[in-house]
């Protein structure tokens, strides 16, 4: 990762790992949507007490370095920009997801059904499980796709997923924790929850 020269307007466009994978498989990206994000901006630096007045409230933000585009799609576009009514009382959040989620071996697993608040019946979600060696994730018969690292699993545009524990008993120092990231496709709201695999009996019931 590097920084771009912010004294001029620069468009730095690259393909993510997922984009290169899709291009290699299909020979066509077939892009239908796009989004903007401001991951590198810390709005806590907006200074309404600047001695030079309101024209300088955002001076620090305007002079911050701009990050180069990078290829890991799980680490970019985390904070998407969106258009909303000026009368919107608050930003949307994802609810009904409490953690940590402890998965027991040889059970039906845990179903994760997020909700968007304010309520949005048409919303669906993207689920990113960072380590499939800890748990398996499905949505009906949909197992989504796997990152090139072979560990992360993504299921996009579904209402819920089911998680079951992978048997790690009998292993020496097994990995038994991971994180599930959930993103609302309509609002861009995100949340995360820790997943604990209890096949070793380490976590109390």
Residues 119 and 185 reside in one and the same domain: yes
Q: What is the pLDDT of residues 88-103, one digit of tens each?
A: 788 889 999 988 999 9
- Reference 97, options 122, 80, 82, 114; nearest CA is 114
Verify cis geometry, omega within 30 degrees of 0, for the bond prior to 17.
no
Count structural domains, the chain.
Answer: 2
Q: Which domain range does residue 188 map to?
A: 93-197
- Measured in whole angstroms, the distance separating CA 191 from the mean position of its chain's CA atoms is 8
Q: CATH number of the domain at 165, please.
A: 2.60.40
Residues 184 and 124 reside in one and the same domain: yes
Residues 58 and 149 reside in one and the same domain: no
Residue 16 counted as domain residue? yes
Residues 135 and 189 reside in one and the same domain: yes
Q: What is the pLDDT of residues 15-62, one digit of tens each?
A: 877 788 778 887 888 888 788 888 878 888 899 999 999 999 998 888
């Amino acid at each position: 990762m590097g920084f771009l020269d912010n004294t001029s307007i620069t468009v730095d466009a690259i393909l993510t790992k997922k984009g290169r994978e899709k291009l290699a498989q299909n020979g066509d990206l077939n892009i239908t949507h796009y989004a903007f994000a401001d991951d590198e901006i810390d709005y806590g630096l907006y200074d309404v007490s600047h001695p030079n007045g309101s024209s300088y409230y955002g001076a620090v933000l305007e002079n911050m370095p701009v990050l180069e585009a990078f290829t890991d799609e799980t680490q970019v576009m985390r904070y998407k920009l969106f258009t909303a009514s000026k009368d919107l009382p608050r930003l949307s959040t994802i609810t009904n997801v409490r953690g940590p989620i402890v998965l027991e071996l040889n059970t039906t697993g845990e179903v994760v059904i997020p909700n968007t608040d304010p309520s949005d019946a048409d919303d669906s979600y993207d689920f990113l499980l960072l380590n499939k060696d800890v748990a398996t994730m499905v949505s009906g018969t949909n197992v989504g796709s796997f990152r090139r690292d072979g560990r992360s699993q993504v299921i996009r545009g579904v209402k819920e997923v089911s998680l079951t524990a992978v048997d790690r008993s009998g292993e020496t120092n097994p990995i038994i924790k991971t994180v599930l990231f959930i993103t609302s496709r309509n609002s861009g709201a995100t949340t995360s929850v820790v997943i604990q695999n209890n096949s070793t009996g380490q976590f109390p019931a």
